[in-house]
Amino acid sequence: MKKSLLIAAFVPFMAAVAAEEKSKDPAAEAAEKSARVQAMADAFRPSVVNVRFRLKRLPDGSRPNAAMPYRCPACNNQGRHISDSDEKEVPNLVAGFVLDKNRVLVQDLYLRRDWIDRLEVVCGTNAVPARPTLCYPNENAVLLETERPIPDARPLSFTGDATNAPSLFHVVEDSDGRVKAGLRKVNRDFTRYPATGEDWCAATPNTIVVDASNRAVSVQMCLDRPLSGVIPTPPSRWSSEPFDAREARVAALEKRLLSSILPVYLHIDEEKKGNSSRMFYSSSDDETRAGDVDTFGFALADGEVLMPLNLDSGKVAALDKMEATLPDGKKAPLEFVGAFAEYGLFLLRFADGRTPPGVQPIAFSKASSDGLDRQTAYLARPRNRNGKVQFSLAPRKILAFKRVFGGVVVPSAAPENNSGEMLLLESGELAALGGHVRSTGESGGSWRSRTSIPGAALARLVAARDFDPEFALRKGKDRIRVAWIGVETQPMTKELAREKKSQGFLSGEDGMGSLVGKVYTNTPAARAGIKEGDVLLWVRRTTSERHEKLESRDSRSFGMDIEGIFDRLPVSTFDRYGITPWPQVESGVNNVFTRLGIGTKVVIAWVSGGEKHEAELVLEQAPVHYRTARRIRNRTLGLVAADLTFEVRAYLKLADDAPGVVITKMQEGSPSAVAGLRPFEVISSVNGEPVTNAIRFAELIKEKKDLTFSVRRLDVTRIVRIQLKAQPN
């Protein structure tokens, strides 16, 4: 392996030091090193200053988020002192190195000029306003120019021997203007990147490179740097470009991207959508838009739009409006094409199948890591704020790489934490996109792992069109598809685990399991031999060894006697928060089964009588249940009623042929509410006629002024009379 010049120069020096160390007393050695460090601190203190700045607040009150890769060398290279949401208004602080009386070198924090509220150099009690003038892309540094000379500052003198620079003197920012410093040896541990064939070592930023005589050779700002052929050089020999030139180039790229990144609006039918009862994706200031999603998409060729958004299959099924806002402000309807099977990405297309005028399709970079090495790139986090896409590009230099999901190599700057965050090249090509993967492709709609998706992989995905068939627009009761095995479950406790003799089969990683409260006849669970009182442990596909925990965590069911709760809570509360007294079919273990998919062959494990059992079965689609039951609305009465479904009958202990409809929603102050009706009560007859279903209920109350209902609340039946002043609708 080829050794770098830096290592070659370093080895003889270290051999001499090692021989000398053997003859030294440890205490004397420590004292000598401490004295050396203190002497260097005293020598360099006048050349080290604090650079203090504040970030402006955006119109929504937040700070610009540049994802700045700043690391403090005093915090084991992990501490961050840069904040994008500093509520206490404490200014950010970094170390700077004085090059002359009005120029200071700082680590490049990838700040944009219009993000900075105030920037100043602090030396002792003096604070001098400054502005960035030059940037050094290869050295991760920026040069600041002050309005006037910095009092009491002494420029660094780079007079050391560059071929004999074995040590780093690191500097830490300090609010009192002191120099906290330490001396460490040059890092000799390196990593060879197969993609580029180069050797890299972890570097310590904010350090002065010194030679054996403690003279400064250079300043180091990079987090990582290549070893091969690198000799430290003073800043005067670094390649640079005007800061304003970089600003102008980035601003032009931002403007161009606004024709490729489009605001996308989605509406989800709140009455018929999937598992969640509320939406949390909307960035609108209007709280009434509970079913609205403001997001964004990347315009592609042939009138298509790629949208990074983690909607589950139930919400996709209930999509009933999709549109994009074009650069000229006009709205254009979109159609759903498909959801990719492996990643949290959706493909839409314009209704007419063509790319609208003014929209520029984004291009995917197909370059390998070799082709991206040392290129300039930009990190951005687009956000849709009330129908307008907002983002800022933060410059990066691609100097290192990492492996992500699937063993793919991407630049280290590529995003992994935020879905939709992107890394772009100066050409405007998308180099990588932050996104989610399903748990190694085996958890249906479960978005659990975050990763970076390279541009080349995105291009292949769009071309292959490998979509998950569970993600599709659906109508009627088929909109909500729930997989199940035919059980009702409840959360486990440590006491229940001991009682059911299951604690020995449950580890901390496997959770507590789920207690089976009921097994329905002629279901996969019944055929497998699962009984009431058993404890479900896990499930996996027959083709995989990956286990999914089976835990019940249904917080939207009372699961208890609700007598009294009817009278204490407003009638609108139950529907608003999706609360029901019976276990909900669309929650708990059924969420896991639904992610695996209807018709999937699985292995399920459970504990019965202290013994563990496993069985193969096929996940079935749950029958019509409370959320999907047929409903009728009567505005004059002010209520909505639904057919009785299997879980409602089981909870209320009603026979399969018992008549009735269950009240699902009520309007406060309506005739029904005034008469004392409440949600979840069952109306079994109207004027003496049995109610067989919701349609029959609508027929019996049509055009009636005087109504007598037989109403059941839990196991108590009463008569409720309502006299209407107007004809029912």
Nearest to 363 by CA among 456, 477, 252, 484: 456
The verdict on residue 188 lying in a domain is yes
Q: What is the mean pLDDT of residues 665-674?
A: 88
Minimal CA–CA distance to 103: which of 175, 156, 177, 176? 156
Which stretches of 615-688 are DSSP H helices?
646-652, 671-674
Whole-number percent of the chain with pLDDT over 70: 75
Do the beta carbons of residue 512 and residue 490 sit within 8 Å?
no
Q: Please name the helix (run of DSSP H) or strand (run of DSSP E) that holds residue 8, with its range, or none.
A: helix 5-22
* Cβ pair 333, 459 in contact under 8 A: no
CATH of residue 33's domain is 2.40.10.120
Which tokens in the block code for residue 453?
A: 């998706």
Structural domain total, the chain: 4
Cα–Cα distance for residue pair 506/19, rounded to 1 Å: 57
Q: How far is CA 379 from CA 250, 304, 387, in A?
A: 11, 24, 22
Q: Are residues 671 and 693 in the same domain?
A: yes
pLDDT tens profile 3-47:
333 333 333 434 444 555 555 577 887 777 677 777 777 788 888
Give per-residue pLDDT as tens, 456-505. Answer: 999 999 999 988 877 888 776 667 778 999 999 888 878 888 888 877 77
**How confident is the model at residue 441, as a pLDDT?**
36
For 310-323, the pLDDT digits (tens) are 777 777 888 888 99
In contact, 359 and 299? CB cutoff 8 Å: yes
**Domain-terminating residue out of 192, 213, 239:** 239
Domain boundary (621, 646, 680) is at 621
Who contacts 21 (Cβ-Cβ below 8 Å, separation ≥6)?
Answer: 29
- Its domain, for residue 260, covers 242-479
pLDDT-based confidence at 60, cuts 50/70/90? low
Note whether 299 and 264 are within 8 A (CB): no
Residue-level pLDDT at 285:
36
Determine the average pLDDT of the residues in 293-304: 92
Confirm if 164 and 213 have CB atoms less than 8 A apart: no
Q: What is the mean pLDDT of the chain?
A: 78
Q: What is the pLDDT of residues 376-416, one digit of tens each?
A: 888 888 888 878 888 888 777 787 778 887 778 888 778 87
Determine the Cα–Cα distance for residues 129 and 122; give it in Å rounded to an integer: 9
Tell whether 572 is covered by a domain. no
DSSP 186: P
Looking at the domain assignment, is residue 567 inside a domain? no
If asked whether residues 471 and 497 sit together in one domain, one would say no
SS3 track for 472-531: CCCCHHHHCCCEECCEEEEECCHHHHHHCCCHHHCCCCCCCCEEEEEECCCCHHHHHCCC
Confidence of residue 265 (pLDDT cuts 50, 70, 90): very high
DSSP β-ladder status, 639-643 and 631-634: antiparallel
pLDDT of residue 570: 63
Residue 726 has pLDDT above 70, yes or no: no
Tell me, yes or no, whether 668 and 713 share the same domain: yes
- Do residue 537 and residue 677 come from a single domain? no
Residue/partner pairs of 238-241 with CB below 8 Å, 24 or more apart: 238/136, 238/138, 238/139, 238/141, 239/136, 239/137, 239/138, 240/134, 240/135, 240/136, 240/143, 241/134, 241/135, 241/137
Residue 313 lies in a domain: yes
CATH label of the domain that carries residue 532 = 2.30.42.10
Percentage above 90 pLDDT, the chain:
31
Give the per-residue pLDDT at 216. 87
CB–CB of 84/72 below 8 Å? no
pLDDT at 304 over 70: yes
- 180 and 259 in a single domain? The answer is no
Say whether pLDDT at 694 is over 60: yes
Confidence of residue 274 (pLDDT cuts 50, 70, 90): very low
Q: Which residue has the higher pLDDT, 594 or 87?
A: 594
Are the CB atoms for 557 and 584 separated by under 8 Å?
Answer: yes
Specify the higher pLDDT residue, 285 or 352.
352
Q: Which pLDDT score, from 0 to 100, does residue 99 have? A: 94
Buried b / exposed e along 506-528 (16+ C-beta atoms within 10 A): beeeebbbbbbeebbeebbbeeb
Q: Is 356 helix (H, G, I), strand (E, B) or coil?
A: coil
In a domain, 569, yes or no: no
Selected residue with higher pLDDT from 23 and 523:
523
Which CATH number characterizes residue 652's domain?
2.30.42.60
Instruction: Give per-residue pLDDT as tens, 159-207.
Output: 888 777 666 666 655 544 444 444 454 444 445 554 455 555 556 677 8
pLDDT band at 546; cut points 50, 70, 90: confident
Of the two residues 528 and 580, the one the predictor is more confident about is: 528
Using a CB cutoff of 8 Å and minimum separation of 24, what contacts does 68-71 make?
68/109, 68/110, 68/111, 68/394, 69/110, 69/223, 69/413, 70/94, 70/107, 70/109, 70/205, 71/205, 71/223
User: What's the pLDDT at 218?
Assistant: 87
pTM, rounded to two decimals: 0.63
Cα(608)–Cα(199) distance, rounded to whole angstroms? 57
Mean pLDDT on 653-671: 91
